[in-house]
A and B are shown apart, each in its own frame.
Chain A
Amino acid sequence: MWRFKHSQIYKSIFRHGYEDTKENRIRQIRSNIFLHVHPAKIPEHAMKIRFTWCMGGITFFLFLVETVTGILLMFYYRPVPEYAYLDIKYLEFDVPFGVVLRNLHRWAAHLMVITIMLHMLRVFLTGSYKPPREFNWVVGVTLLVLTFLLSFTGYLLPWDQLAYWAITVGTNMVRSMPVIGHEGPFAVVDKYHDVRFMLLGGTEIGGNALLRFYVLHIMALPSAALIFIGVHFWRIRKDGGISRPL
Protein backbone atom coordinates (compact mmCIF):
# COMPACT_ATOMS: atom_id res chain seq x y z
CA MET A 1 0.00 0.00 0.00
CA TRP A 2 2.78 2.37 0.92
CA ARG A 3 4.46 1.63 -2.39
CA PHE A 4 1.21 2.19 -4.30
CA LYS A 5 0.63 5.54 -2.63
CA HIS A 6 4.10 6.62 -3.64
CA SER A 7 3.84 5.37 -7.22
CA GLN A 8 3.75 7.86 -10.05
CA ILE A 9 0.24 6.78 -11.09
CA TYR A 10 -1.25 7.51 -7.65
CA LYS A 11 0.58 10.81 -7.35
CA SER A 12 -0.47 11.93 -10.82
CA ILE A 13 -4.13 11.47 -9.82
CA PHE A 14 -4.15 12.69 -6.21
CA ARG A 15 -1.06 14.96 -6.29
CA HIS A 16 -0.97 15.76 -2.57
CA GLY A 17 -0.02 13.71 0.46
CA TYR A 18 -2.53 12.33 2.87
CA GLU A 19 -1.30 14.04 6.04
CA ASP A 20 -4.23 15.49 7.96
CA THR A 21 -3.05 19.08 8.02
CA LYS A 22 -5.03 22.24 7.33
CA GLU A 23 -3.01 22.89 4.20
CA ASN A 24 -3.57 19.39 2.90
CA ARG A 25 -7.31 19.53 3.48
CA ILE A 26 -7.54 22.66 1.37
CA ARG A 27 -5.33 21.08 -1.29
CA GLN A 28 -7.50 17.97 -1.43
CA ILE A 29 -10.59 20.05 -2.10
CA ARG A 30 -8.88 22.32 -4.61
CA SER A 31 -7.44 19.51 -6.71
CA ASN A 32 -10.63 17.42 -6.95
CA ILE A 33 -13.13 18.30 -9.67
CA PHE A 34 -16.07 17.09 -7.61
CA LEU A 35 -15.03 18.83 -4.41
CA HIS A 36 -13.70 22.08 -5.80
CA VAL A 37 -17.14 23.71 -6.08
CA HIS A 38 -17.24 23.41 -2.30
CA PRO A 39 -15.66 26.33 -0.47
CA ALA A 40 -12.44 25.24 1.23
CA LYS A 41 -13.96 26.26 4.56
CA ILE A 42 -17.58 26.32 5.66
CA PRO A 43 -18.62 28.27 8.73
CA GLU A 44 -20.26 25.98 11.26
CA HIS A 45 -23.38 28.08 11.76
CA ALA A 46 -24.11 27.97 8.01
CA MET A 47 -24.60 24.22 8.34
CA LYS A 48 -27.60 24.49 10.67
CA ILE A 49 -30.35 22.34 9.19
CA ARG A 50 -33.01 24.65 10.64
CA PHE A 51 -31.53 27.50 8.64
CA THR A 52 -31.12 25.88 5.21
CA TRP A 53 -33.75 23.10 5.43
CA CYS A 54 -31.28 21.40 3.04
CA MET A 55 -33.79 22.06 0.25
CA GLY A 56 -31.31 23.14 -2.43
CA GLY A 57 -29.19 20.05 -1.83
CA ILE A 58 -32.24 17.79 -1.89
CA THR A 59 -33.36 19.40 -5.15
CA PHE A 60 -29.96 18.72 -6.69
CA PHE A 61 -30.05 15.14 -5.40
CA LEU A 62 -33.47 14.68 -7.01
CA PHE A 63 -32.06 16.10 -10.27
CA LEU A 64 -29.40 13.37 -10.13
CA VAL A 65 -32.09 10.74 -9.43
CA GLU A 66 -34.02 12.01 -12.45
CA THR A 67 -30.91 11.80 -14.62
CA VAL A 68 -30.05 8.23 -13.63
CA THR A 69 -33.61 6.83 -13.74
CA GLY A 70 -34.33 8.81 -16.92
CA ILE A 71 -31.35 7.33 -18.75
CA LEU A 72 -32.45 3.85 -17.66
CA LEU A 73 -36.03 4.45 -18.85
CA MET A 74 -34.64 5.46 -22.26
CA PHE A 75 -33.66 1.83 -22.83
CA TYR A 76 -37.32 0.84 -23.16
CA TYR A 77 -39.26 3.92 -24.18
CA ARG A 78 -39.85 4.75 -27.85
CA PRO A 79 -41.17 8.27 -28.60
CA VAL A 80 -43.56 7.18 -31.36
CA PRO A 81 -47.38 7.38 -31.02
CA GLU A 82 -47.75 3.68 -31.90
CA TYR A 83 -45.36 2.56 -29.15
CA ALA A 84 -45.14 5.24 -26.45
CA TYR A 85 -48.18 4.17 -24.40
CA LEU A 86 -47.46 0.46 -24.85
CA ASP A 87 -43.84 0.96 -23.75
CA ILE A 88 -44.97 2.68 -20.56
CA LYS A 89 -47.35 -0.23 -19.90
CA TYR A 90 -44.53 -2.64 -20.67
CA LEU A 91 -42.37 -0.79 -18.12
CA GLU A 92 -45.19 -0.87 -15.58
CA PHE A 93 -46.13 -4.52 -15.89
CA ASP A 94 -43.36 -6.58 -17.49
CA VAL A 95 -39.88 -5.10 -17.28
CA PRO A 96 -38.05 -6.21 -14.10
CA PHE A 97 -38.02 -3.22 -11.71
CA GLY A 98 -39.57 -1.16 -14.52
CA VAL A 99 -42.41 -0.03 -12.26
CA VAL A 100 -39.87 1.01 -9.60
CA LEU A 101 -37.77 3.04 -12.02
CA ARG A 102 -40.74 4.65 -13.69
CA ASN A 103 -42.27 5.65 -10.38
CA LEU A 104 -38.94 6.83 -8.99
CA HIS A 105 -38.69 9.08 -12.03
CA ARG A 106 -42.27 10.28 -11.56
CA TRP A 107 -42.20 10.84 -7.81
CA ALA A 108 -38.75 12.42 -7.84
CA ALA A 109 -40.07 14.86 -10.44
CA HIS A 110 -43.08 15.76 -8.27
CA LEU A 111 -40.82 16.10 -5.23
CA MET A 112 -38.31 18.22 -7.13
CA VAL A 113 -41.00 20.77 -7.97
CA ILE A 114 -41.95 20.91 -4.27
CA THR A 115 -38.41 21.12 -2.91
CA ILE A 116 -37.28 23.76 -5.40
CA MET A 117 -40.19 25.96 -4.32
CA LEU A 118 -39.45 25.38 -0.63
CA HIS A 119 -35.80 26.19 -1.38
CA MET A 120 -36.86 29.51 -2.88
CA LEU A 121 -39.14 30.17 0.07
CA ARG A 122 -36.21 29.61 2.45
CA VAL A 123 -33.91 31.85 0.42
CA PHE A 124 -36.59 34.52 0.43
CA LEU A 125 -37.37 34.26 4.14
CA THR A 126 -33.71 34.41 5.16
CA GLY A 127 -33.02 37.31 2.79
CA SER A 128 -30.33 35.31 1.06
CA TYR A 129 -31.20 36.90 -2.29
CA LYS A 130 -29.72 40.21 -1.14
CA PRO A 131 -26.38 41.54 -2.47
CA PRO A 132 -24.01 40.03 -3.44
CA ARG A 133 -26.38 37.15 -4.25
CA GLU A 134 -28.93 38.98 -6.46
CA PHE A 135 -27.71 37.42 -9.70
CA ASN A 136 -27.83 33.95 -8.22
CA TRP A 137 -31.52 34.52 -7.44
CA VAL A 138 -32.04 35.19 -11.16
CA VAL A 139 -30.16 31.99 -12.03
CA GLY A 140 -32.36 30.21 -9.46
CA VAL A 141 -35.56 31.52 -11.04
CA THR A 142 -34.29 30.25 -14.41
CA LEU A 143 -33.74 26.84 -12.81
CA LEU A 144 -37.28 26.95 -11.39
CA VAL A 145 -38.70 27.60 -14.86
CA LEU A 146 -36.52 24.83 -16.34
CA THR A 147 -37.82 22.44 -13.66
CA PHE A 148 -41.42 23.29 -14.56
CA LEU A 149 -40.67 22.83 -18.28
CA LEU A 150 -38.96 19.49 -17.61
CA SER A 151 -42.02 18.40 -15.63
CA PHE A 152 -44.36 19.51 -18.37
CA THR A 153 -42.45 17.95 -21.26
CA GLY A 154 -42.22 14.66 -19.35
CA TYR A 155 -45.98 14.73 -18.83
CA LEU A 156 -46.66 14.25 -22.58
CA LEU A 157 -44.48 11.20 -23.01
CA PRO A 158 -46.87 8.44 -21.76
CA TRP A 159 -49.19 9.55 -24.60
CA ASP A 160 -52.36 8.84 -22.57
CA GLN A 161 -55.48 10.98 -22.31
CA LEU A 162 -54.09 13.00 -19.40
CA ALA A 163 -50.91 13.77 -21.34
CA TYR A 164 -52.61 14.45 -24.66
CA TRP A 165 -55.05 16.99 -23.24
CA ALA A 166 -52.44 18.67 -21.07
CA ILE A 167 -50.35 19.30 -24.16
CA THR A 168 -53.44 20.42 -26.06
CA VAL A 169 -54.15 23.04 -23.43
CA GLY A 170 -50.49 23.97 -23.01
CA THR A 171 -49.84 24.54 -26.68
CA ASN A 172 -53.17 26.36 -27.07
CA MET A 173 -51.80 28.93 -24.65
CA VAL A 174 -48.61 29.29 -26.74
CA ARG A 175 -50.85 30.07 -29.71
CA SER A 176 -51.79 33.34 -28.01
CA MET A 177 -48.25 34.60 -27.38
CA PRO A 178 -47.66 38.16 -28.55
CA VAL A 179 -45.93 38.55 -31.94
CA ILE A 180 -44.77 34.92 -32.35
CA GLY A 181 -48.13 33.17 -31.74
CA HIS A 182 -50.57 33.27 -34.63
CA GLU A 183 -53.60 34.24 -32.50
CA GLY A 184 -51.82 36.57 -30.10
CA PRO A 185 -51.64 40.37 -30.21
CA PHE A 186 -49.39 41.84 -32.93
CA ALA A 187 -49.10 38.42 -34.58
CA VAL A 188 -46.66 38.53 -37.50
CA VAL A 189 -46.89 34.86 -38.53
CA ASP A 190 -49.59 32.43 -39.65
CA LYS A 191 -50.30 29.09 -38.03
CA TYR A 192 -47.69 27.37 -40.20
CA HIS A 193 -44.85 29.59 -38.99
CA ASP A 194 -45.58 30.44 -35.36
CA VAL A 195 -44.02 29.23 -32.12
CA ARG A 196 -46.74 26.59 -31.66
CA PHE A 197 -45.85 25.06 -35.01
CA MET A 198 -42.20 25.02 -33.94
CA LEU A 199 -43.08 23.18 -30.72
CA LEU A 200 -45.44 20.69 -32.36
CA GLY A 201 -43.64 20.19 -35.66
CA GLY A 202 -47.04 20.64 -37.32
CA THR A 203 -50.39 22.31 -36.79
CA GLU A 204 -51.89 19.52 -34.71
CA ILE A 205 -50.65 17.25 -31.94
CA GLY A 206 -49.20 14.06 -33.40
CA GLY A 207 -46.01 12.08 -33.84
CA ASN A 208 -43.87 15.15 -34.50
CA ALA A 209 -45.06 16.78 -31.27
CA LEU A 210 -44.25 13.66 -29.24
CA LEU A 211 -40.76 13.44 -30.73
CA ARG A 212 -40.05 17.13 -30.15
CA PHE A 213 -41.20 17.07 -26.55
CA TYR A 214 -39.08 13.95 -26.03
CA VAL A 215 -35.95 15.66 -27.39
CA LEU A 216 -36.68 18.72 -25.26
CA HIS A 217 -37.20 16.49 -22.22
CA ILE A 218 -34.09 14.34 -22.53
CA MET A 219 -31.56 16.69 -24.17
CA ALA A 220 -32.32 20.38 -24.50
CA LEU A 221 -33.80 21.15 -21.08
CA PRO A 222 -31.50 18.90 -18.97
CA SER A 223 -28.42 20.36 -20.71
CA ALA A 224 -29.64 23.88 -20.01
CA ALA A 225 -30.43 22.92 -16.40
CA LEU A 226 -26.97 21.41 -15.96
CA ILE A 227 -25.27 24.59 -17.19
CA PHE A 228 -27.37 26.78 -14.91
CA ILE A 229 -26.79 24.43 -11.96
CA GLY A 230 -23.05 24.79 -12.58
CA VAL A 231 -23.29 28.59 -12.58
CA HIS A 232 -25.57 28.46 -9.51
CA PHE A 233 -23.08 26.41 -7.45
CA TRP A 234 -20.06 28.36 -8.68
CA ARG A 235 -21.72 31.62 -7.66
CA ILE A 236 -22.52 30.21 -4.21
CA ARG A 237 -18.83 29.40 -3.76
CA LYS A 238 -17.71 32.81 -5.01
CA ASP A 239 -20.16 34.52 -2.66
CA GLY A 240 -18.54 32.82 0.30
CA GLY A 241 -20.48 29.59 0.58
CA ILE A 242 -24.15 29.26 1.42
CA SER A 243 -25.63 32.23 3.22
CA ARG A 244 -25.54 32.07 7.00
CA PRO A 245 -27.76 33.17 9.85
CA LEU A 246 -27.30 36.84 10.57
Chain B
Amino acid sequence: MQKDNISRRSFLRLIGWGSFFAATGISVAGALRFLFPRVLFEKPSAFKISVPAEFKGGPDYQVFENWKAEHSVWLVRERNRIYAVHAKCTHLGCTPNWFPDEGIFKCPCHGSQFHKNGMNFAGPAPRPLDRLNIAIDDDGNIVIDKSRVYTFKEFDKQGAYVEV
Protein backbone atom coordinates (compact mmCIF):
# COMPACT_ATOMS: atom_id res chain seq x y z
CA MET B 1 0.00 0.00 0.00
CA GLN B 2 1.28 3.43 -0.89
CA LYS B 3 2.12 5.67 2.00
CA ASP B 4 0.33 9.01 2.40
CA ASN B 5 2.53 11.92 1.31
CA ILE B 6 1.02 14.34 3.78
CA SER B 7 0.66 13.45 7.41
CA ARG B 8 -2.18 14.89 9.45
CA ARG B 9 0.27 16.95 11.48
CA SER B 10 1.91 18.60 8.47
CA PHE B 11 -1.49 19.17 6.88
CA LEU B 12 -2.72 20.98 9.97
CA ARG B 13 0.52 22.92 10.15
CA LEU B 14 0.01 24.02 6.54
CA ILE B 15 -3.57 25.09 7.31
CA GLY B 16 -2.43 26.93 10.44
CA TRP B 17 0.40 28.90 8.84
CA GLY B 18 -1.64 29.36 5.68
CA SER B 19 -4.49 31.05 7.55
CA PHE B 20 -2.00 33.08 9.60
CA PHE B 21 -0.30 34.50 6.51
CA ALA B 22 -3.63 34.95 4.72
CA ALA B 23 -5.03 36.96 7.66
CA THR B 24 -1.82 39.01 7.90
CA GLY B 25 -1.79 39.62 4.16
CA ILE B 26 -5.43 40.75 4.11
CA SER B 27 -4.78 43.07 7.07
CA VAL B 28 -1.77 44.64 5.33
CA ALA B 29 -3.72 45.03 2.09
CA GLY B 30 -6.59 46.60 4.03
CA ALA B 31 -4.21 49.00 5.79
CA LEU B 32 -2.70 50.00 2.43
CA ARG B 33 -6.15 50.53 0.90
CA PHE B 34 -7.04 52.61 3.96
CA LEU B 35 -4.37 55.13 2.94
CA PHE B 36 -6.12 55.86 -0.38
CA PRO B 37 -9.27 57.89 0.37
CA ARG B 38 -12.32 57.62 -1.93
CA VAL B 39 -13.25 61.30 -1.67
CA LEU B 40 -10.79 64.16 -2.03
CA PHE B 41 -11.56 67.69 -0.93
CA GLU B 42 -9.38 69.29 -3.58
CA LYS B 43 -10.41 72.08 -5.91
CA PRO B 44 -11.81 70.97 -9.29
CA SER B 45 -9.12 71.00 -11.98
CA ALA B 46 -11.13 73.18 -14.41
CA PHE B 47 -12.15 76.79 -13.84
CA LYS B 48 -13.93 79.42 -15.91
CA ILE B 49 -12.64 82.89 -16.76
CA SER B 50 -14.19 85.62 -18.88
CA VAL B 51 -14.80 85.85 -22.63
CA PRO B 52 -11.86 86.18 -25.07
CA ALA B 53 -12.94 89.66 -26.19
CA GLU B 54 -11.89 91.07 -22.81
CA PHE B 55 -8.26 90.42 -23.57
CA LYS B 56 -8.13 92.39 -26.81
CA GLY B 57 -6.18 95.63 -27.05
CA GLY B 58 -2.99 96.58 -25.26
CA PRO B 59 0.55 95.64 -26.22
CA ASP B 60 1.47 92.55 -28.27
CA TYR B 61 2.35 90.53 -25.24
CA GLN B 62 0.37 90.79 -22.02
CA VAL B 63 0.58 88.72 -18.85
CA PHE B 64 -2.51 88.55 -16.64
CA GLU B 65 -1.88 87.68 -13.01
CA ASN B 66 -5.54 87.56 -11.88
CA TRP B 67 -5.63 83.76 -11.56
CA LYS B 68 -2.17 83.12 -10.16
CA ALA B 69 -2.91 83.28 -6.43
CA GLU B 70 -5.83 80.88 -6.54
CA HIS B 71 -5.03 78.61 -9.46
CA SER B 72 -1.27 79.00 -10.14
CA VAL B 73 -1.99 80.09 -13.71
CA TRP B 74 -0.86 83.08 -15.75
CA LEU B 75 -2.91 84.00 -18.75
CA VAL B 76 -0.63 85.22 -21.53
CA ARG B 77 -1.95 86.96 -24.63
CA GLU B 78 0.20 87.11 -27.73
CA ARG B 79 -0.84 89.10 -30.77
CA ASN B 80 -3.57 86.65 -31.75
CA ARG B 81 -3.62 83.79 -29.30
CA ILE B 82 -4.19 83.30 -25.57
CA TYR B 83 -2.62 80.52 -23.56
CA ALA B 84 -2.46 79.48 -19.90
CA VAL B 85 1.05 79.24 -18.47
CA HIS B 86 1.41 76.97 -15.45
CA ALA B 87 3.04 78.91 -12.60
CA LYS B 88 5.27 75.99 -11.69
CA CYS B 89 9.01 76.01 -12.31
CA THR B 90 10.06 73.15 -14.58
CA HIS B 91 13.11 72.60 -12.40
CA LEU B 92 11.67 71.41 -9.06
CA GLY B 93 8.12 72.71 -9.02
CA CYS B 94 8.38 76.01 -7.13
CA THR B 95 6.25 79.03 -8.04
CA PRO B 96 8.08 81.69 -10.10
CA ASN B 97 7.16 85.38 -9.94
CA TRP B 98 6.25 87.76 -12.76
CA PHE B 99 8.33 90.96 -13.03
CA PRO B 100 6.39 93.35 -15.29
CA ASP B 101 9.23 95.91 -15.48
CA GLU B 102 11.70 93.38 -16.89
CA GLY B 103 9.07 91.33 -18.69
CA ILE B 104 10.33 88.01 -17.33
CA PHE B 105 9.37 85.29 -14.88
CA LYS B 106 11.92 84.47 -12.19
CA CYS B 107 11.95 81.55 -9.79
CA PRO B 108 13.19 82.54 -6.31
CA CYS B 109 14.49 79.09 -5.39
CA HIS B 110 17.32 78.36 -7.81
CA GLY B 111 17.25 81.39 -10.07
CA SER B 112 15.57 80.01 -13.18
CA GLN B 113 14.35 82.75 -15.52
CA PHE B 114 11.78 82.65 -18.30
CA HIS B 115 10.70 85.07 -21.05
CA LYS B 116 7.11 86.23 -21.00
CA ASN B 117 6.09 83.41 -23.32
CA GLY B 118 7.51 80.93 -20.80
CA MET B 119 10.79 80.15 -22.65
CA ASN B 120 13.61 79.40 -20.21
CA PHE B 121 16.84 81.33 -20.73
CA ALA B 122 18.72 81.18 -17.40
CA GLY B 123 19.08 78.94 -14.40
CA PRO B 124 18.62 75.19 -14.03
CA ALA B 125 15.10 74.88 -15.49
CA PRO B 126 15.34 72.22 -18.24
CA ARG B 127 12.43 73.38 -20.43
CA PRO B 128 9.98 76.26 -20.90
CA LEU B 129 7.10 76.67 -18.45
CA ASP B 130 4.32 74.17 -19.16
CA ARG B 131 0.97 75.28 -20.52
CA LEU B 132 -2.47 74.10 -19.50
CA ASN B 133 -5.51 73.06 -21.46
CA ILE B 134 -7.52 76.10 -22.54
CA ALA B 135 -10.80 76.04 -24.43
CA ILE B 136 -13.95 78.04 -25.08
CA ASP B 137 -17.14 76.52 -23.69
CA ASP B 138 -20.69 76.71 -25.10
CA ASP B 139 -21.32 80.12 -23.48
CA GLY B 140 -18.21 81.59 -25.10
CA ASN B 141 -16.20 81.69 -21.89
CA ILE B 142 -12.58 80.66 -21.64
CA VAL B 143 -12.17 77.51 -19.50
CA ILE B 144 -8.81 76.32 -18.23
CA ASP B 145 -8.38 72.67 -17.29
CA LYS B 146 -5.27 72.07 -15.20
CA SER B 147 -5.46 68.29 -15.48
CA ARG B 148 -4.14 68.39 -19.08
CA VAL B 149 -0.57 69.74 -19.24
CA TYR B 150 1.19 70.64 -22.49
CA THR B 151 4.99 70.55 -22.52
CA PHE B 152 7.26 72.43 -24.93
CA LYS B 153 6.74 70.33 -28.08
CA GLU B 154 2.95 70.39 -27.72
CA PHE B 155 2.52 74.17 -27.59
CA ASP B 156 0.98 74.28 -31.08
CA LYS B 157 -1.48 71.48 -30.39
CA GLN B 158 -5.22 71.98 -30.31
CA GLY B 159 -6.19 72.82 -26.70
CA ALA B 160 -2.92 74.52 -25.78
CA TYR B 161 -4.18 77.94 -26.93
CA VAL B 162 -7.24 79.82 -28.16
CA GLU B 163 -7.32 82.36 -30.97
CA VAL B 164 -8.45 85.93 -30.44
Q: Assess the A203–B40 pair: CB atoms within 8 A.
A: yes
- Complex formed: what's the CA distance from A172 to B35 in Å? 19
| CB nearest to A201 among chain B residues | B37
Q: Is B28 an interface residue (CB 8 A)?
A: no
Q: Is the CB of A193 within 8 A of B94?
A: no
Which B residues are in CB contact (< 8 Å) with A197? 36
- Say which residue of B37, B40, B93 sits within 8 Å of A169 (CB atoms): B93
Is the contact region of chain B dominated by helix, strand, or loop, or is it mixed?
loop
Query: Is there an interface contact between A202 and B35, defined as CB atoms closer than 8 Å?
Result: no
Are A165's CB and B109's CB within 8 A?
yes
Q: What's the Cα separation between A11 and B109 when bound, in Å? A: 65
Interface size class of B (residues with CB under 8 A): 10 to 19
> Does B92 sit within 8 A of A, measured CB to CB?
yes
**B42 contacts the other chain (Cβ, under 8 Å)?**
yes
CB neighbours (8 Å) of B42 from chain A are 202-204, 206
Interface 0/1 of A188-202, CB less than 8 Å to B: 000011000110011
Bound state CA distance, A197 and B93, in angstroms?
16
Extra inter-chain contacts (18) besides given A165-B94, A168-B92, A168-B93, CB under 8 Å: A168-B94, A169-B92, A169-B93, A169-B94, A172-B92, A172-B93, A192-B36, A197-B36, A198-B35, A198-B36, A201-B35, A201-B37, A202-B37, A202-B40, A202-B42, A203-B42, A204-B42, A206-B42
